Amino acid sequence: MNKWILFIHQIAQDAPSLRVKVWRDLKKYGAALFKNAVYVLPYTKEYEEIILWLCKHIKDSGSDASLFITESLDKKQDEEIVKTFNDACDKEYLVLSNACDNILKTVEQIEGTEGITDSLTHDVKKRLNETIKNVEDLAKIDFFNAPQKERVSQKVQVIQQKLDGWSKATKRKVCGIDKTYQAKDYVGKKWVTRRDVYIDRMASAWLIRRFIDTKARFIFLPKSTDKTPKGAIPFDMYGAEFTHHGDDCTFETLIKAFGLKDAALAPIAEIVHDIDLKDDKYGRKEAEGLSQIVTGLSQKLKNDNKLLEKGAEIFDALYQYYSSNTAGGN
């Protein structure tokens, strides 16, 4: 039979701060409340000393506490106590599992729509590291390897593998961004991107058809697939050549990749960047208004081709405006 520490305490009504401190200490040590009657810990000499000091602190504060060391009556009672510990830990692991799910959703959004940037990578790594620390802290008091522990560990591993892949992809893309592409090699192509286009893909499609491939045809893939049609040119998609590079959005990447020198494109690129990356890098005052217009269009029109048509009208108008104002409209 297992050996256990039983802890019973009674805190005076006029000592709420002591009650909170004791509760936090017990939670930190991993004590489980058994049948709403006593706190239980697996017996070790270290925990015996810790709880003895806690008893002394409670008594010195004018309240009462007692410690008992005992053994289970039978295997069934052991299993019941172990289940109490595992249930408590599984609740905590579930919170961490949900945190992992939220991180994975962010990862999928970045890969599918926004594109990988140093800033976004840093944010994801920060959230993952916080989750890993919480998992490690919980594991220290997960005395019996609660069932949900492995599930959380697997999710953490998946996220870490994604980030490792990002690092490798970023290195490859940084090498490729110095290359200059010729528009004449991209005439009459199929261009593929994700469904539900927003500002960067909308602007990029306009740029492609206006300055790179006037006969461009666009294909939209669901988020559930990464398989591009044969011969199609992917853009603003994870792993594509024409996507985010460093701190550049796809629109900026295309301008640099094809050596487009038209001065009117610079302010448009700054607006698209500020809306897409939300970093206010250029502080374009037009960004908020254009963002609201594009959001409204995406809510009204569920067909991506129609969205590109309406988007093209907007960017044609912006281009006309900035073409007559070489100072960028500042």
Q: Token digits for 250?
A: 């796809």
Residue 230, pLDDT score: 87
Domain boundaries, the chain: 3-71, 78-176, 183-323
Please state, in angstroms and rounded to a whole number, the distance separating the CA atoms of residues 207 and 264. Answer: 12
What is 3-71's CATH number? Answer: 3.30.70.240
What is the per-residue pLDDT across 88-131, written as a single tens digit (0 to 9) for each? 999 999 999 999 999 999 888 877 665 666 667 778 888 999 99
Residue 123, pLDDT score: 85
Residue 307, pLDDT score: 95
Is the C-alpha dihedral spanning 296, 301, 304, 306 positive or negative? negative
Residue 329, pLDDT score: 43
By CB atoms closer than 10 A (0-12, 13-18, 19+), residue 302 is: exposed
| pTM of the entire predicted model | 0.55
Nearest CA-CA partner of 55 in 15, 32, 25, 30: 25
Nearest CA-CA partner of 290 in 307, 275, 278, 305: 275
Q: How confident is the model at residue 144 (pLDDT cuts 50, 70, 90)?
A: very high
What is the per-residue pLDDT across 192-220, written as a single tens digit (0 to 9) for each? 998 899 999 999 999 999 999 999 999 99
Residue 283 clears pLDDT 80, i.e. is over it? yes
Q: How confident is the model at residue 83 (pLDDT cuts 50, 70, 90)?
A: very high
What is the per-residue pLDDT across 179-190, written as a single tens digit (0 to 9) for each? 788 999 999 999
Residue 79, pLDDT score: 94
Mean of per-residue pLDDT scores for the chain: 89
Residue 330 clears pLDDT 70, i.e. is over it? no
